Amino acid sequence: MIFQVEIEVVIRPFIENDKDALRQVYLESRQDTFTWLDPGSLRLSDFDRDTTGEAIWVAERHGSIIGFVSVDEEDTFIHNLFVMTRWLGHGVGSQLLATALASIGSPARLKCVAENARAMSFYQARGWQKVGEGVSEDGKYYVLETSEVYQTP
């Protein structure tokens, strides 16, 4: 039996000095998770492109950034939620998600790449429902929606 232990993290708003660390989190998380993509197609600069104009919250543990969530507040859309691989299963994603939902309200939507089974399980375990699908450069995705503000268990 595997027990997953929540760790203590600080969730705080993004500051410009976070950018280099967040670029690294975004790149490494996608390299570890998005195994169906060509690793050479993933770049540090993708973070800047993929979060432009979004509100960002950062997960920090002992002064190191270990994850982030970015949202389009106007559309109540969660665009990115990434946690460093070694910290998956410790409640970091749940804390980031709860922070984002407390900020943007509900109903909220997001897209989850169909190949990302761990992320799909994460969202579905928290009550997110499939309401659509499509295809992007990352592959087939599902549009998920929640109408409740998620509470960290």
Give the pLDDT confidence score for residue 106 in this predicted structure.
82
What does the pLDDT read at residue 44?
A: 93
Going from the N-terminus, what domains does the chain have, and what CATH number goes with each?
A: 10-104 (3.40.630.30)
**Of 66 and 2, the one with more pLDDT:** 66
Predicted confidence band at 5 (pLDDT cuts at 50, 70, 90)?
Answer: low
* Mean pLDDT taken over the chain: 90
pLDDT at 1 over 60: no
pLDDT band at residue 150 using 50, 70 and 90 as cut-offs:
low
Backbone angles phi, psi at 25, to 5 degrees: -60, -45
Residue 60 banded pLDDT, cuts 50, 70, 90: very high
